[in-house]
Copies of this chain bind each other. A is one copy, B any other.
Amino acid sequence: MPADEIQFVYSAKEMPKFATEPHLLCGFPGSGYVGKLAIDHIIQELHATHIADVYSSSFPPQVVIRTDGTVDLMKNSIFSWQGGETSLLLLTGDSQPTNPDSEYALAEHILNFASQFGAKHVFTLAAYITGVFVDKPRVFGTATDASLVGSFAQHNVLLMDSGTITGMNGLIIGIAKLRGISGTCLLGETSGYVVDAKASKAVLETLLSMIKVKVDMSNLEKRAKDTEMLIQTIEQQMAGRGMPAPESQQQQPQKPRNTGYIS
């Protein structure tokens, strides 16, 4: 792998053949691990097939030590799945690139890869950070086309109408739009303080209803309950120390809070 380059290492000689144009679903690591947890969950529950690992000299220069004591370079990984009328490409990873130029480059490479299979729609899953703990995380969204935006209401997705989405979750759909591929970014409301399986479950349910795929949610629900207990513990500790708890959530169902920060 030369410097500044991105390398795909395929796990099989044969590329998957899809009966229908696949959706590309991206779960990059980011705030609260909202997107990554969701995509890792689908990969596991659907027993998706590993296609390729993606390495880049823009990932942090380090190896990850696995529980068996062996090491691997940081990477992104792409899986495939099909069932009934639906085909999926699923992307998960250890890291996003460490510099802007490489974020653009990785987004291009991933879209090139997905285009080989005729992918016409890409979903990215992100965090909508509010700084407060909430009981029922809302799901926000933005998309490349007015028609996609128009369908948000029927999936209970709150429409964003200002701001920016930074990093791979934004770039992938922004570059997709330039290439005539449609894209949707779904953002799960999260405090930003903890790994948030609850927010992850919320965006995943929305995504699954949009792409009409059913996945057993029990493992993610269990993790979501763990998140809930963690949040309660944090709130009790804060109360115990006389510290103000993060402002409790007021109902503002139709509009993102002005303090919202997206990544």
* Interfacial residues, chain A to chain B (CB-CB below 8 A): 1-4, 9, 55, 57-73, 98, 100-105, 108, 141-146, 149, 152, 159-168, 170-171, 173-175, 177-178, 183, 185
A254 to chain B, nearest CB (A): 12
The 8 Å CB contact of A103, one of B9, B61, B101, is B61
The answer on a CB contact under 8 Å between B145 and A58 is no
**B167 near A62: Cβ-Cβ < 8 Å:** yes
Q: What residues of chain B lie closer than 8 Å to A185, measured between beta carbons?
A: 71
Q: Is the CB of A70 within 8 A of B105?
A: no
The 8 Å CB contact of A170, one of B71, B144, B146, is B71
A100 touches B58 (CB 8 A): yes
Per CB-CB distance, the 3 closest pairs between chain A and chain B, nearest first, are A3-B105, A57-B104, A73-B174
Find out whether the CB atom of B4 lies under 8 angstroms from the CB atom of A3.
Answer: yes
Check A178/B57 contact, CB under 8 A, given A108-B2, A166-B62. Answer: no
B104 touches A178 (CB 8 A): no
A73 and B166: CB pair below 8 A?
A: no
Which B residue's beta carbon lies closest to that of A106? B3
Instruction: List 9 A-B pairs, Cβ < 8 Å.
Output: A9-B178, A58-B101, A61-B100, A62-B164, A62-B166, A65-B161, A67-B161, A71-B174, A73-B175
